[in-house]
Each structure stands twice: as structure tokens, then as C-alpha cells.
Amino acid sequence: MPGDLRDLIMASFDAAAAETWSKFTLGEADKLALREAALKVLGFFPGRMAGQCALMSAAYSIALEKFGTQPGYVVAGSLYIGDKRIFGEGKEFDGKALFSKSNPDWNGHAWIVYGDYLADVSVFRTADGGSPRLLSRHIAKEYGRGRGFCAWPTTGTDPNGLRYVPQYVLMQDQVDALMRGALAMIDEMNVKRGSR
């Protein structure tokens, strides 16, 4: 995965960003920043919201700007359990066009790469929502319910069988647009809660 990510970061940002990312190895302070940013995002989003991976990952990336020392990149692609595809199409897509506007029909998955770590702040929330069933059962069995986020080195694979296949790294303007969408969605939910 790391070689692919370098090329994807270069395509969406530039060679300098890809070079900086490839040399960034997380120390203990960086791992703490990864955790603190994830907890902020999890507190910001209501629980058990399936289908919010891109919004949550964008918020995670923005939070890492505050807590971390390097940028966190939002990656879009496919999620597998072993060889079974859970999200995504397993084929290339035009991420620049796909993420240039709201696209609720996209069936892929989004997560963060932060230096030499992959982090997913939405997969447990999606699984706790019960759909897709294969993911829900797998997460409940391997991790338990009600977990926050997962993170591990990009050079390895999740020891519990999740496999992430990167296909596109979102550009900063796309991340910013998703963050605006996340804020609008949360404001709308708060208004609805207040009218009850």
C-alpha cells in the first residue's frame, strides 16, 4: 500500500507532499495526536451513523491539522474483509470528478493516512449501525461493539482481517467541502433535536 499511496498523494498534491509523507514515521507524540484527533471527531458526530465515512475522515484530517505535526490525508477506495469486498467497486474511479460535488451514491470507503499509519474513525460506527451485516458481524466478533477508531502501520495489515485498498487521495478543497457538509449536517441534526 505505501507505494500506491505515495503516487496518489503526488497526484492530488505534489511531489514535495508525497516525499514529506513518505518520510514521516509516527513517534509517541504523533500517535497521541492521532488518538486525540479521533476522539474529537467521534465526539463531534452522533453515534451509529452509517454512510458518513468521507465526512468523518474529512473532519479527522482537519482535526489532525490542529493536534498533529503533519497533514493527514483522506484516502478513498475499497474496504475488504479478507477477500470479500464490503465497500467500493474494486476498480478505478475518477476521484477528482467524484468528489467535486455531493455524491450520496458512492459506495466506497474513506479513511486517513497519517505518516506511516492508517486510521479509520468511521468503520466501527458503520458496523454498530448493523449494515452491511458481514461487516457488523466481523467487527462485533473481532473488536466488540461500541469501539472508537482503529489505527495500525500502513506496512502491515489489520491483524483482524480488514484490508484497505487505496484508489484516490482527496485534494484539500475536496476535504474542506466535505467538512462544510459535515458541519451543515450536524447543525441540521441539532436543530431537529431542539425542536423535539
Q: What is the pLDDT along the chain (196 residues), one digit of tens a residue?
A: 555 899 999 999 999 999 999 999 999 999 999 999 999 999 988 766 667 899 999 999 999 999 999 999 999 999 999 899 999 987 788 899 888 887 767 889 999 999 999 999 999 998 988 889 999 999 999 998 888 899 989 876 677 789 999 999 999 999 999 988 888 777 776 676 665 5
Query: Which residues, at least 6 apart from 42, have a Cβ–Cβ distance to it below 8 Å?
Result: 121, 125, 148, 149
The dihedrals phi and psi of 162, each to the nearest 5 degrees, come to: -75, 135
Cα 163 from chain centroid? 13
Q: What is the residue whose three cell numbers read 484539500? A: 172
* CB contact at 8 A, 21 and 5: yes
* Domain chopping of the chain, boundaries: 2-183
Q: What's the predicted TM-score (pTM) here?
A: 0.91
Give burial (CB, 10 Å; 0-12/13-18/19+) of 34: buried
